[in-house]
Amino acid sequence: MILSVLAESSADDPEAKARSIRAGANWVMGMQSRDGGFAAFDADQTATWLNHVPLADVEAVVDPSCADLTGRVLEMMASVGYRADHPVATRAIEWLKRNQSAEGGWRGRWGINFIYGTFSALSGLRAIGVDINEAWIKRAVNWLKSKQNPDGGWGESPLSDKDSAWHGRGTCTASQTAWALIGLIAGEDGLSEHAMRGAQWLSEQQNDDGA
């Protein structure tokens, strides 16, 4: 996020700005795991035996590559001038291809759950220059559309973390509807009926204070 903001900002010292962006981008890209994805805190921390120590009651001690952060890194790379043919981007894109669910979405690790992961992946893929007409991108877009609730919004229960029947299903929330909208806008060139209905749902839920 910082690098993306820096890239769009003005600076009294353009050379210092360029150095900062270059150093930050190099550091982030250097955190790529051997599998091609990106995790939150470190690279290649996937020793699952750590989940079995007594303090690991949530089984989340390890820090595996995840779709939401891999998508965010691709988005960052695009914001500072890299494209899909950069070796780091190429490996990240391949990781996303390999880890797309059979349904078409991606599981997110830092938000609930598949709506979050899918919008993050699609945003990064669109930004870095992947052809959104490719079949796997269309499959992700169609998955998001299939999870829209009858009233136009989206929601996903935390139960989706353990139960596939809840992937992309739940009571509508503003945040998850916004995530789905971002994903649809990233995955298509036009505004579909699904996107328009989602925007309408958000406008109808806004309170008098504007939130």
Which of 56 and 17 is assigned the larger pLDDT? 17
Interatomic CA distance for residues 51 and 32, integer angstroms: 22
Q: What are the pLDDT digits (tens) for 82-123?
A: 999 999 999 999 999 999 999 999 999 999 999 999 999 999
* Domain range annotation of the chain: 2-205
Provide the CA 205 distance to its chain's centre, in angstroms: 24
Cα within 13 Å of Cα(139), Cβ side: 11
Record the pTM.
0.91
Question: Could you write out the DSSP letters of every residue in the chain?
Answer: -HHHHHHHS--S-HHHHHHHHHHHHHHHHTT--TTS---SS-SSB--GGGGGSTT-TTS--SB---HHHHHHHHHHHHHTT--TTSHHHHHHHHHHHHH--TTS----SSSSSHHHHHHHHHHHHHHHT--TTSHHHHHHHHHHHHT--TTS-----GGGGT-GGGTT-SS--HHHHHHHHHHHHHH-SS--HHHHHHHHHHHHH--TT--
pLDDT band at 51 (very low <50, low <70, confident <90, very high): low
The domain over range 2-205 is classified in CATH as 1.50.10.20: yes
Residue 44's pLDDT band (boundaries 50, 70, 90)?
confident
